[in-house]
Amino acid sequence: FSDAFVADNDPDDFEAYLNAAFSKSKLNEALLNPHSSFYFVYKGNDLVGYLKLNVNEAQSDLKGEDSIELERIYVVQEFQGKGIGKEMLMYAKRLAAKTTKAFLWLGVWERNKGAIKFYEQNGFSKFGMHPYYVGKDKQMDWLMRFDLINFNEE
């Protein structure tokens, strides 16, 4: 997260967000939540990316039983552009398709044009917006969805 967004945010707001969202207690809580699942990608012994899926009440916005949230998907900057993110996204789609959920959804910062394009190229479409706070800074995220009905691997 830090690699992707530190340069585009106020340093004080960004630090406040990191301290709240990625504190040890917050991470432990997320790891122990039975409605959240984490998946890690390694190259050798190096962690190069991870993703987090949420269902039911663990979802950050939509709480419906027909959806699964891709809350986080990150690749370490030096490994971006190597197809890792695309493989991770396909893995998330496969996992989601094995459930009885109708769609996979995510939130992406409206100013993150590269990520929006990436998700659109991978079958996601915009369906709404919601606020996302980085410290005291109210930002807007596009909500994007991928329909799992009739999903087959491209």
Q: Residue 3: what pLDDT?
A: 53
Write down the catalytic residue from 17, 50, 119, 133. Answer: 119
Q: Which CATH superfamily is domain 2-147 in?
A: Gcn5-related N-acetyltransferase (GNAT) (3.40.630.30)
Q: Which residues contact 150 (CB under 8 A, 6 or more apart)?
A: none
**Structure tokens belonging to residue 17:** 């967000």
Domain ranges of the chain: 2-147
CA 22 → CA 35, 58, 100, 134, 139, distances in Å? 18, 16, 30, 12, 18
Burial class (CB in 10 A: 0-12, 13-18, 19+), 50: middle
133 is catalytic: no
Quickly state the pLDDT bin for 107 (edges 50, 70, 90). very high
Looking at residues 75-98, what average pLDDT do you find? Answer: 95
Which of 59, 61, 128, 124 lies closest to 90 in space, CA to CA?
A: 124
Looking at residues 35-45, what average pLDDT do you find? Answer: 96
